[in-house]
A and B are shown apart, each in its own frame.
Chain A
Amino acid sequence: MSVALPRNTTNQTEGWLVGDIARVLHRVTGGVIVVFVLVHVAAQAALHAPAMAAVKSSVGTWLPIAQSQHWVHAVLYFSLVFHTLYGLRLVASELGARFDYRRSLWVIIGLSALVGLREVARYV
């Protein structure tokens, strides 16, 4: 097994900045989760809270449509899995675990995509 060479850092402007992708994905998926929780709480309140009886019927105009879109499930599940796994990876790295920042991102994106695609398969 040969000794690893130092990196060739003469093409830094080509390709992606992995950390930027990770950061943006983590933010966006976090946003998706926040939006989902808000929508979920609002919808459930409208459906079950006696005080919100006046708006209960309006929920039916959009909720079933949203729930039947495969991509809504896909995006939501992808977001949940990605945000959780990547968040855990961040915490683990600060507790001493060593990760290759490229490989760990692609693995996590891959796993999240698998779960997302599974949702597509279920709802399509």
Chain B
Amino acid sequence: MHEQPEVIVESTDILIAGSGAAGMRAAIAGHDTGAKVVLLAKGPRRANHTRMSGGRYNAVSGANPKDTPEAFYRDTVESGMDINNHELARILAYEAMDRAYDLEAYGLAWDRTEVEKYYMSMTGGGTFVRTLGSIDEGIGITEVMLHQLHARNVRICDFHMLVDVIVGEDGRVAGALALDLSRGVWRFYRCPTVIIATGGTSQLYETSSGPAINTGDGIAIALRAGAELVDIEFMQFIPISFVYPPSARGYTLTEPAHYGMRHFDPNAEAAHLVNNQGERFVLKHDPVRKEGSTRDVLARAIMLEILEGRGTPEGGVLMLPDKQVFEAFLKERPTYIKRLLENYGEGQARLEAPIPVMPSALYTLGGVRIDAWCRSRVPGLYAAGEAAGGVHGANRLGGSSMPDIQVFGRRAGMAAAEEAKARGPVPEEAGIAQARARASALERGMHATDGVRPIEVKKRIQKLMWDHVGLVRSGPKMEETLQQFGEIRAQVLPALKITGKSRILNREWMESIELGNLLDIAEAMASASLLRKETRGAHYRTDFPDLDPQWTANVLVKRDGAALTVEKQAVVCAEAPQTQLDKHKAIA
């Protein structure tokens, strides 16, 4: 048999997985609260979803006298179709602005119209103009935060993939097992607290906007460690993204291109969408708001057109942009105009020619269920950012992810530091045996000589998710999909082949580990979607196409041994929750 792989052990107070803004903000907060922090980045630290955001930052700055944090909170809950965790939504609304000032303190300059007056724009679904911005801010935000981490001497480990959180016999976090991909070496971080900030699950879908590394690792790891997932059935799809070249397919085109003058004036008209017959097909779906409808309605409308054969040859529909917003768009997000130029052409870049667009998986609305301080139900396990669920409910406001990751990243860091201080160091032998066993199991793949390549399985899962657990869902199809997932788990996963045997940066090995995570979340999503017998926000079912007030509730998913438990629970409105059990066993 193969010998036990070596596992290098070290200790820390807080282990953070994820180098996006949530992870980085948690690292800053944890460090400033006095804890020793280690941050793991699955690839180079700049490879994260935050980086890709060209979007905006919703906050009540006071520059719009009509706006209040209460209004922002109400917008958040209304957009989330009332199933948000109301406490979290309120925290987001009230703390967003202070975190914006923090970013400015770090060196980010918010766009201004005057020396002390921020530039603001509208966001889809918001009531008042409140959204701040900083030119192509995802890059700026990650850069200023990285330098803040350098200033604090916080250790960031590139190419370190979190593989599992090890829970001790006392039911508390004992540490985290990670794989140093740059050397093929296992590491166990003995620590009382772990913060999951690994982002979302965009890679679960055939066409997605997020980065290649977002395979939902942290969410799956938390699920396996005993945490609950909430709202995992909700995946936000952006209606418009690039159709070609292949590398850019699925990358979001963002609001201004689509909303046109609506970006500044809530009563203006959005850019028209036409199919290959030149028809404005959205009018069939939402004759009132037309192309100004919500993201989910538009995404579905476009998807249906493409599925029914009325799309362009490359697989999209056409958006007829409003060239009036060109200069504003150019100023706010020059990189997007650049991409339009490079991917499509000058006419499209000037917003003067039709732009090919298609829907794409953008944001994981659900995730690890957390409380106001980012605690999951496993003591010592925290989650923040896209990996956490409950803040946004069934549909996220554009511009709310940026403040979410700052607000909850900070809370996670602070709370984890306090807990680490209170708990003290983890006993020496705790968790090591489990870590070694897990590492050993995952070494198996490296020695397989025959089987299926991970990339084939990943594509299969991505196609199933896109076709049946994506924009358009139905009970029978999801049942069938769950069956297929079961078969993949039972027969395919144990027989994966890894071609190359180098331990250094073995992508196939990484993908084989990711596959386990993808499958865990795919099953959770399908199961939760099956339970929710209605249509709400991003979750649309052809067999239950209407909103059901009885379903103003959340679906919780947790592991029960090898099976998944899916149950309905009342929305958290700072009242005592009531549970109704409805077990759905996943095929083991």
Q: Interface on A for B, CB 8 Å cutoff?
A: 2-3, 5-10
**Judging by beta carbons under 8 Å apart, are A10 and B327 in contact?**
no
Inside 8 A of B350's CB, which chain A residues have their CB? Answer: 2, 5
**Judging by beta carbons under 8 Å apart, are A7 and B327 in contact?**
no
The residue in A2, A8, A9 that gathers the most chain B C-beta atoms within 10 A of its C-beta is A8
**Judging by beta carbons under 8 Å apart, are A6 and B327 in contact?**
no
**Judging by beta carbons under 8 Å apart, are A3 and B338 in contact?**
no
- Chain A residue at smallest Cβ distance from B339: A6
Inside 8 A of A2's CB, which chain B residues have their CB? Answer: 350
**Judging by beta carbons under 8 Å apart, are B330 and A3 in contact?**
yes
For the complex of A and B, 10 pairs with smallest distance between CB atoms: A6-B338, A10-B342, A8-B342, A6-B334, A5-B349, A8-B341, A5-B341, A6-B337, A3-B327, A5-B337
A3 to B351, CA, bound (A): 12
- B543 within 8 A of partner (CB): no
Main secondary structure of the interface of B (DSSP, over half): helix
A9 to B334, CA, bound (A): 13
Inside 8 A of B338's CB, which chain A residues have their CB? Answer: 5-9
Inside 8 A of A5's CB, which chain B residues have their CB? Answer: 330, 337-338, 341, 346, 349-350
How many residues in B have their beta carbons less than 8 Å from beta carbons of A?
12
Inside 8 A of B346's CB, which chain A residues have their CB? Answer: 5
A5 shortest CB reach to chain B, Å: 5
A33 shortest CB reach to chain B, Å: 42
A10 to B244, CA, bound (A): 14
Chain B 104-118 interface mask (CB, 8 Å, partner A; 1/0): 000000000000000
A-B residue pairs in contact (CB < 8 Å), sample of 23? A2-B350, A3-B326, A3-B327, A3-B330, A5-B330, A5-B337, A5-B338, A5-B341, A5-B346, A5-B349, A5-B350, A6-B334, A6-B335, A6-B337, A6-B338, A6-B341, A7-B338, A8-B338, A8-B341, A8-B342, A9-B338, A9-B342, A10-B342
A5 to B327, CA, bound (A): 10
B337 shortest CB reach to chain A, Å: 6
A104 shortest CB reach to chain B, Å: 25
Chain B 336-374 interface mask (CB, 8 Å, partner A; 1/0): 011001100010011000000000000000000000000
A10 to B327, CA, bound (A): 23
A39 shortest CB reach to chain B, Å: 51
B348 shortest CB reach to chain A, Å: 11
The residue in A3, A5, A7, A10 that gathers the most chain B C-beta atoms within 10 A of its C-beta is A5
- Chain A residue at smallest Cβ distance from B245: A10
Inside 8 A of A9's CB, which chain B residues have their CB? Answer: 338, 342
B332 shortest CB reach to chain A, Å: 13
Inside 8 A of B342's CB, which chain A residues have their CB? Answer: 8-10
A18 shortest CB reach to chain B, Å: 20
Chain B 310-345 interface mask (CB, 8 Å, partner A; 1/0): 000000000000000011001000110110011000
Which residues of chain B (57-90) have a CB below 8 Å from chain A?
Answer: none
A6 to B326, CA, bound (A): 13
The residue in B326, B327, B338, B350 that gathers the most chain A C-beta atoms within 10 A of its C-beta is B338
A44 shortest CB reach to chain B, Å: 58
Inside 8 A of A3's CB, which chain B residues have their CB? Answer: 326-327, 330
A91 to B349, CA, bound (A): 37
A4 shortest CB reach to chain B, Å: 9
A8 to B344, CA, bound (A): 11
A30 to B570, CA, bound (A): 80
A3 to B341, CA, bound (A): 14
- Chain B residue at smallest Cβ distance from A11: B342
B363 shortest CB reach to chain A, Å: 26
Inside 8 A of B337's CB, which chain A residues have their CB? Answer: 5-6
A82 to B487, CA, bound (A): 73
- Chain A residue at smallest Cβ distance from B338: A6
- Chain A residue at smallest Cβ distance from B331: A3
Chain B 394-437 interface mask (CB, 8 Å, partner A; 1/0): 00000000000000000000000000000000000000000000
- Chain A residue at smallest Cβ distance from B330: A3
- Chain B residue at smallest Cβ distance from A4: B330
A64 to B72, CA, bound (A): 88
A9 to B338, CA, bound (A): 9
